[in-house]
Each structure stands twice: as C-alpha cells, then as structure tokens.
Structure 1
Amino acid sequence: MDLRLRDRTVVVTGASSGIGLATTRQLVGEGVRVAACARDLDRLRAAVGAIEGTDPDRVHLGTCDVTDREDVESFVGGVVGRFGGIDGLVCNAGRSLMAPLSETTDEQIREEFDLKIFGSWNVVRAARKALAQSDAGSVVNVNAILSRQPEPRLAVTSAARAALLNLTHSMAEDLAHDGTRVNSVLLGLIDTGQWRRRFEESGTALDYDAWSAEIAADRGIALGRFGTADEVAFHIVTLLSPLSGYTTGTSVDVGGGVGRYV
C-alpha cells in the first residue's frame, strides 16, 4: 500500500534506538526525508547510517535536548532550512522512572513532567508554522497505556503520561485550525533497550525470553509477550499518512491486550 508519504519531511525525536530508530527505518523505506535527533550524535549517526537504503542527502541528523526550547527551535529551524518544510512530527524522546511514589524525589517528579510535557510541546510549537503550510501536517506523540492505567511501580511516570495524553487532546483541537492532526500511540511493554538493561541488572538465571514472558504474565498481557519496536512504528507511520486524514485527537493502543479500561 502506498501511504503517500514519499518525499515528505518528518522529524523524529529520540531516534538513536528503540521505537525512534524503528520509526526512522520505516519512514526511510517509505521514501520520506527524515530529520532525526537524539542526545548522542555519534550513536545516532551509527544507528541511522546502518539502515539499508539510507540516502545521506535525505537524512538530517542532530543533537537536541527536547526540554530546552531554544535547542529545539534551533534544530527545527535547521530542518526547515535544509528541506524547505515539515510534514510530520514523531515526539518520541522519553524514558520511564521505575520507582514507587514513596521513593521518588521532588526533582525526579519535576524531571518526569518536564520531559513528558515539554518533550512534545517544545517540538510542536517550534514546527507549528511549518506544519500548517503542509497539506498533510501530522503529529504523533509516543505515550503509554500508563496514561490511562497507572501502575504503582511507575507512579510518577504514569501521572506525567496522563498529563501528556490530556495535552495531546488539547493540541489536537488547537492545531486543527491549522489543518494539522495530533494523535497518540499508547505503548504497553515493548522490547527496547530499557527492558534489556533491566534484564541484565536483574541477576536472573532465566534467559531473556523466559524472563520477559514471566513479566508479561505478571502484567496480564493477553498475548503473553512484549511487543516490538517495529510493531509500534507501524502505527506511528500509519497515523502520519495522509490516508489517516480524518483521524485526530485519538490514540492507538499497542499493548498486546494489557489495557483493561473500556
């Protein structure tokens, strides 16, 4: 299927690994000009450079702290200067804070809300004018099922993600006046570097597949496994497509059935 994304320009934050890298790979495969950023430029260059079919003339790479408004505006300005515009944003930069509320510091709480809210809003407002000039402007916020179904082990991350989901709905209404759509993908447990690090730190005698299957069973994931970054990226790319032109202010669960809300 032709998603009508060829020769469009899409910004992806947090693109050096996991979902951001998988999304970049799929966008390159669709013939998209990709502007990708991450905190570690060397790692980003190595990761994106390894994508088959990558044309350096159609990829713009840079460092960017998404919580720093000036940093974001500089990066976005560079993208517009090079490619002439922006058609889509994938606000993916983020992390999870694995800690109960009683063990979370005030500074950690501020950092979580800063990253989840400004990690999207800084990028959206910097690119808003460019998106409005596109005939298919689209924003996808990478969020989590935690935003609707909080977990005590991720108390502050759950709260910050709920705030981002609420903000996404507000942005969808606001940017609709520009003709720009704003949606979310809500993740369950996805096999990314964070989970690999937790496995290595766990001291378990199990291999990764058995260890992750135990966690999937404990968390009530109907499909009995973690998802993959590519499975998430598919929905992100689909929401960016002009074929999704009547979809805004909504979210897609990619959680293997872990969501228990109606």
Structure 2
Amino acid sequence: MTALLEGRTAIVTGAAQGIGLAIATTLVGHGARVTIADLDGAKAEAAAAAIGPAARGVACDVTSEESVAALVAGAVAEYGGLDVIVNNAGITRDASLKKMTLENFRAVITVHLQGTWLGIRAASEVMREAKRGSIINISSMSGKSGNPGQTNYSAAKAGIVGMTKAAAKELAHHGVRVNAIQPGLIRTPMTEAMTPEAYAATEATIPMRRAGEPEEIANVVAFLASDLSSYMTGAVLEVSGGRGM
C-alpha cells in the first residue's frame, strides 16, 4: 500500500467497530498515526491494540464539548499535531413517525449533528494554526433520498451535508478542507441484522447489485485525507454502488 499519509496524524470517531474501524485501519496502512475514539473506551483500546503501535484508543462522548476538546488536545499532545479528523460516530433509533419518541429523535440529531459540529470546531482550531488539514464527515445516502422509519437519521445526515459546505467555505482560506462521504448499503453488523428479505430488496435497488464493504468507504476517506484531493473542499462523495442516482 502506498503511504499516502506518511507522517500525518488522524482522529476517527466511532471507530471501535464497523466502518470506523475500517477507516482507522486503512489510514494506519497508509502511514498515518491514528487516535481511535469511541464511547466504549475499552473497545477503542482493544481495536487500537489489534491494529498496532501506530494506533491509540480513547473514550470519547462526541455529544460532550469537554470530551471532544479533550480528544483533540490528547491527540495533539501525543502526536504533535492533527492533520485529519473523520467525524464518523453515529447511532440509529429507527421508528415510524407515529411511533418515534422525541427522546429518540433528539438522541440521533445530537450524536450526528452536534457531535460532528463539535469535531469540526475543535479540530479546525488546531488546523487553522497549522494552515492545513482535512476534515471528513460521514453522512449517508439516507440524507440524500430519505428512508422511511428514519426521519431522525435522514434529517441528521442531510444536516451534515449543509454543515460540511458551510464549514468548507469558512475554513478554505485557512488551508483546511472539509468534505463529506455518503455511504450506501455497507456490509456491517448493523445492516446484516436486517431480515434477509429486506437486505435482498435493498440490494436489488443498487445498480452494482451488491452491498459495499467497509474498506470501500475507508479507501475514499484515505483519498480525501491525502494530498490526492488537495483541490477538493465542500464536496459530497456518494459511495453507494450507484444507488440514488
């Protein structure tokens, strides 16, 4: 693997498993030193230990201003700077409009929107001073086309697109790039919990006729984190096998 990120440092939130873990693993594979952040600190530490010495695991609640500030400060103290942050942490609380509680609506909005905003704000403070940096926000195709039973999740993921573009405009003259990725159906423990019928029905809507792998999201993150995308900011990349065209 070409070391696209040799000497770079990165934070990935929600990275103890699934897409986040694939992202962290791929960034390390490209030469970065990575802080794996997760609400479950023990799982984050275990994930980092499995990746190797270029990764460290820490507990972080992305909805907490203090926790996110400590995450960024700790990464800077450990590695001497911060080049990349991937705001990946997320939750689902699916239900129909009729059955969704206000608590579950707020929980999803808070983790995705407030969590991403706190990550952007804390990381950009460091990156502005360095006059460089790449901020990558994980949205979803749900934020483009909407999913029934996911009014909270679809709204949050659409909001991340608007937030990405606004932050990109604010930070461009500081040399800081802000981009977003919208994954489609990706093979993770969460999607594999779908019924076989629902899974097959969703796959049938994808022109490539298959679900994506977490590594296929991670590879696009590596591209956006690297100098290969040096003239890209405010972009939203769909990684969906053509779903939603």
TM over 0.5: yes
Identity of aligned residues (%): 36
1:198-221: CA deviations, max 9, x gaps? Answer: 24xx4xxx6xxx87334312xx11
Which runs of 4 or more aligned residues in structure 1 lie more than 4 Å from their structure 2 counterparts after TM superposition? Answer: none
Alignment of 1:239 onto 2:224: yes
Amino acid at match of 1:144: S
Counting matched residue pairs gives: 245
Alignment of 1:250 onto 2:235: yes
Any residues of structure 2 matched to 1:100-179 within 5 Å, and which?
100-134=96-130, 136-179=132-175
Name 1:33's counterpart in structure 2: 33
Q: What is the CA-CA distance between 1:135 and the residue it aligns to?
A: 5.2
Counterpart Cα distance in 1 of 2:96 and 2:167: 30
Name 1:225's counterpart in structure 2: 210
1:227-260: CA deviations, max 9, x gaps? Answer: 1100010001100101211000011101111113
Counterpart Cα distance in 2 of 1:76 and 1:146: 29
Name 1:44's counterpart in structure 2: 44
Higher alpha-carbon Rg? 1
Contact 1:101–1:156 at 8 Å: present in 2 too? no
Judged with a 3 Å threshold, the aligned counterparts in structure 2 of structure 1 residues 170 and 111 are, in CA distance, closer, same or farther, namely same
Counterpart Cα distance in 2 of 1:106 and 1:135: 41
Tell me the SS of whatever aligns to 2:137: strand
Counterpart Cα distance in 2 of 1:224 and 1:161: 24
Q: What is the CA-CA distance between 1:10 and the residue it aligns to?
A: 0.6
Alignment of 1:96 onto 2:81: no
Name 1:213's counterpart in structure 2: 200
- Root-mean-square deviation over aligned CA pairs: 1.7
Contact 1:139–1:180 at 8 Å: present in 2 too? yes
Tell me the SS of whatever aligns to 2:145: coil
Tell me the SS of whatever aligns to 1:141: strand
> Mind listing any 5+ residue stretches in structure 2 that lack a counterpart?
none
Judged with a 3 Å threshold, the aligned counterparts in structure 2 of structure 1 residues 176 and 162 are, in CA distance, closer, same or farther, namely same
Amino acid at match of 1:117: L
Name 2:83's counterpart in structure 1: 87
